[in-house]
Chain A
């Protein structure tokens, strides 16, 4: 499990000993994770295990309780608001539910950052936006409002928007959900190409094991707030660790619980009371 570069100073994202929780309940408990420059790394885990939370920590939207999060060598904990905003100019994020601006058209959504952060001429912006939309196959919907798009289309527009300014770190939160098989393959390849062509670094949160295995360099498995396995797709596929096997092949029985922790089933249905 040494496939990923361990050379110091070449990591775009370095997370060490990270602890985080909402309120009392801890969500992440001692995460250690690195993403090398130019790498495409997947984070997988069951629903609710804290993947979105981890991405938000990388984007500086949440602050670690303990431990450090470094992006491009800079520690995020304790940054001022101004420093955070400066750091975010280099980061693109695809939100789990798209988060398109509902008061702007598809075109204006993709053009948003170009207008906010650059002084490009409108004709230049037009060319760039159409290029980005073309890459996700949606040049034809430039005039529509987000409410007129299907869920999968909105996700693809959000992808175009997230990469509008060619960021050096791209965070994808579930880019594959709600896509048909054809778009799935295209978007998967697009994520790989964006990564390689822009020289960007990407972090991909996903449930889609088979699709992401085709494109990523390295995979982290998160369960119950810790990283329980990691490796290259090859290593993961041939892994004999029971939970990795269970996750990759989608089996209900195994060490990973399908159920969120709670009372034992009979008690919730009041059966033990009736029996006793």
Chain B
């Protein structure tokens, strides 16, 4: 009885230590990426290419999801606000939720599962098929040539995707509330413009998605680079990328939100 309790505690402690160790490893890896980033900026075409793979190819899912999320927000907001007789404020609700929270967070979650997992799988397969070794033997550092451009491609893509997600969401909210439910179009837009603050809402949202972009890209490239060079190794790493990135996004969101709220008062 006592023994199993102790063992249970030990297991919890063990996994906690392993998680902390893993976070430390990702942070160290991030440092290495930054140290090998100069070539990516000297040859920016490498980053552009990765932005295409990470960003452009996530566009469809981001745009469609943004539209749906905005529509749902519009519906729910209209329901609730109507009972207080202030259904024109639904524009404010839709815009603020999207700018502050849903835009950065949901687009980062989608990005992690669409682009992050692909990044991990690609780098892991390159390792398993000795392409990274071959590159090393050609005196080209894979951290500089393979990892850093993908990392920066992800970091630059995500904020842009989040903005598009937010824009689509607002369009979705507009369609549902103004076009379908008959909220006054002028009130919808003017209240939104009055309530949304550029510095506090838009910029803070961008900061969030930039941080999420760094986290997701670092985790995705780390998992790929450190994946055991086998089929199971790569598939396990891909799953871990999605799980750890999602957790990291939500945890960082809590932290950032707390800091930003503090900054407001």
Contact = CB atoms under 8 A, between A and B. Distances in A.
A97 B129 contact: yes
A260 B199 CA distance: 69
B166 to A, nearest CB: 32
Interface stretch (A64-72, A87-95, A192-200): A87-95
Contacts of A91: 137
A112 B133 contact: no
A225 to B, nearest CB: 22
Contacts of A93: 134, 137
B21 interface: no
Interface in A49-63: 59, 61
B141 A85 contact: yes
A86 B129 CA distance: 24
Interface string A18-51: 0000000000000000000000000000000000
Given A97-B130, A100-B131, A112 B136 contact: no
A102 B138 contact: no
B145 interface: yes
A117 interface: yes
A102 B129 contact: yes
B131 A101 contact: yes
B139 A99 contact: no
A113 interface: yes
Contacts of B145: 116
Contacts of A103: 122
Interface residues on B, range: 10 to 19
B196 interface: no
B28 to A, nearest CB: 16
B126 interface: yes
Given A95-B134, A116-B145, A88 B139 contact: yes
A59 B129 contact: no
B140 interface: yes
Contact of A99 (B122, B129, B140, B141): B129
Nearest to A90: B139
B130 A116 contact: no
B140 A113 contact: yes
A85 B139 contact: yes
Contact of B137 (A59, A81, A97, A116): A59
Contact of A116 (B129, B133, B140): B140
A88 B129 contact: no
Interface in B108-129: 122, 125-126, 129
A92 B136 CA distance: 11
Contacts of A85: 139, 141
Contacts of A88: 136-139
Contacts of B139: 85-86, 88-89, 113, 116-117
B130 A99 contact: yes
A116 B134 contact: no
B129 A61 contact: no
Interface in B135-159: 135-141, 145
28 contacts: A81-B141, A85-B139, A85-B141, A88-B136, A88-B138, A91-B137, A92-B137, A93-B134, A93-B137, A95-B133, A95-B134, A97-B129, A97-B130, A99-B129, A99-B131, A99-B133, A99-B134, A100-B134, A101-B131, A101-B134, A101-B135, A102-B125, A102-B126, A112-B138, A113-B138, A116-B138, A116-B139, A117-B139
Interface of B: 122, 125-126, 129-131, 133-141, 145
